[in-house]
Structure 1
Amino acid sequence: MSSRSQRIVGKILAPVIWVADTLGTSREVQRDDASQAEVERACRQLILYQFMSCPFCIKVRREMTRLDLPIEVRDARLDPEHRQALKAGGGRIQVPCLHITHDDGREEWLYESDDIIAYLRRRFG
């Protein structure tokens, strides 16, 4: 399949995948209001670069739902600005990639779905 065909199929399937992803995963973490507010503040330092139909990205998004993490999600396939930011910051266009801005201002670009999930569980689980 050509890359143009893949993009078209990805655009068509993206809404279906989003609905299945959203409805097919339940939140497993319950926090009191103060704890959830702290988690939400911490999540402002995180951005997930992803492709909507990538199975590894779906895996990470499901974990975000399970942990009730409102992390900003940027599609690096459909948005050229996000694609360029991923390339410039992380050094390569590979998804999923979690962009972490640490409290000291240091930036980290974490690749690999299993590594991202392990990080999220350690920090928020």
Structure 2
Amino acid sequence: MKVIRLVLGQLILLLNAIFSPRAMKRSEDAQQQVNDQAKQLQLYQFESCPFCVKVRRSAKRLNLPLATVDAKQPDNEQVLIEQGGKRKVPCLRIEDKSGQVKWMYESNDIVAYLEQRFA
């Protein structure tokens, strides 16, 4: 089973690299605002997880410099479990201006949130 996962994961990454989406064009000022807002976001993910790839592709389409965190690293995994509530990826960590943190799971919910906020 691990071999199948490894092969499929590498295939997903290869296809993602070949068929990478084009980034949205914005004015310099608008892109700078997006970049500043993106600093409040972190995507906890596994590199070859198909649902994580889906979220990263959406971020690329939106020209959103989304910081990614490898949830397989023990320290990152512990943060995800303790603060987010469960070991599940993808998970988007959203920090608002007041410092409140929200953890969003489910790739469809994350993509919808990103599109609503940045499209």
TM-score of Structure 1 vs Structure 2, range by shorter chain: 0.7 to 0.9
Residue 115 of structure 1 corresponds to which residue in structure 2? 109
Residue 103 of structure 1 corresponds to which residue in structure 2? 97
**How do 1:1-125 and structure 2 match up within 5 A?**
1=1, 5=2, 10=6, 17-77=12-72, 79-125=73-119
The secondary structure found in structure 1 opposite 2:115 is helix
- Provide the rounded CA distance (Å) in 2 between the counterparts of 1:99 and 1:22: 25
Alpha-carbon shift at residue 27 of structure 1 (Å): 2.4
Check whether the contact 2:10–2:48 (CA below 8 A) recurs between aligned residues: no
The secondary structure found in structure 1 opposite 2:94 is strand
Alpha-carbon shift at residue 75 of structure 1 (Å): 1.2
Alpha-carbon shift at residue 82 of structure 1 (Å): 1.0
Q: Which amino acid aligns with 2:56?
A: R
Q: How much is the aligned-residue C-alpha RMSD, in angstroms?
A: 2.0
The secondary structure found in structure 2 opposite 1:95 is coil
- Provide the rounded CA distance (Å) in 1 between the counterparts of 2:83 and 2:17: 28
Instruction: Return the TM-score normalized by structure 2.
Output: 0.88
Aligned length: 119
Deviation per CA, 1:53-104, whole angstroms, max 9, x where unpaired?
Answer: 1111111010011001101001112x11111111111010000000000111
Instruction: Return the TM-score normalized by structure 1.
Output: 0.84
Structure 2: 5+ residue runs without aligned partners? Answer: none
Name whichever of 17-26 and 48-57 sits farther off: 17-26
Alpha-carbon shift at residue 19 of structure 1 (Å): 5.0
1:119 to 1:76, Cα distance in 2 relative to 1, 3 A: same
- Provide the rounded CA distance (Å) in 1 between the counterparts of 2:16 and 2:103: 24
